[in-house]
Amino acid sequence: MNASILLPSAFTAPTGGNRVARAVVVGLLTFGLVTAPVANALAQGNSAAAALMDAERDADADTSGVMWFGAGCLFGILGVAAGYLITPTPPAARVIGKAPEYVAVYVPSYQTAGKSIQGKLAIYGCLLGSVGSTIIYVMTMAGAAASTVN
């Protein structure tokens, strides 16, 4: 049986122009097979980067600055410890319908960023509370010393 009847002319025995056509088809198929896994890996990397940025942004927006600053100011080192030990959890609505890879990066990143923000705010509150307490103490002692002299 004649091969030219069963196959298109580009896929019969390579002669002349058919060699070029075959080389182009083989090249395109090879290119597609090689670049597909690379494109998939890059897409997952972009998803991870997006999840990380989203988690940090959301943790910053969700953390109550007044509460953690006040905890540090009122409770001192205990407020700071609480800021670093209490783990915030992201709202479930933020991860519903997302890819498992996205969720696997988003949740721990949210928790880490949230703890960091809570702790920093508690430290600032602790420092302000310490300075305020010191000022009150010095003023009280100065007032007591002045009253005993008279």
pLDDT tens for 46-81 read 688 889 999 999 999 999 999 999 999 999 999 999
If one counts every other C-beta atom within 10 angstroms of the C-beta of residue 119, the result is: 20
Could you tell me if residue 114 is inside a domain? yes
User: 45, 52 in Cβ contact below 8 A?
Assistant: no
Number of compact structural domains in the chain:
1
Could you tell me if residue 47 is inside a domain? yes
Coil, strand or helix: which one is 67? helix
Amino acid at 143: G
Look up residue 2 and give its two tokens.
């004649």
Amino acid at 28: L
Could you tell me if residue 1 is inside a domain? no
The rounded mean pLDDT for the chain is 83
Q: pLDDT > 70: what percent of the chain?
A: 75
Quick one: pLDDT at residue 144? 84
| 3-state class percentages of the chain: helix first, strand second, coil last, to nearest 5 | 85, 0, 15
Could you tell me if residue 5 is inside a domain? no
Q: pLDDT > 90: what percent of the chain?
A: 57
Quick one: pLDDT at residue 112? 96
Could you tell me if residue 6 is inside a domain? no
Chain center to CA of 32:
32
Domain that holds residue 76: 14-149
Could you tell me if residue 25 is inside a domain? yes
Could you tell me if residue 67 is inside a domain? yes
Quick one: pLDDT at residue 19? 75
Could you tell me if residue 3 is inside a domain? no
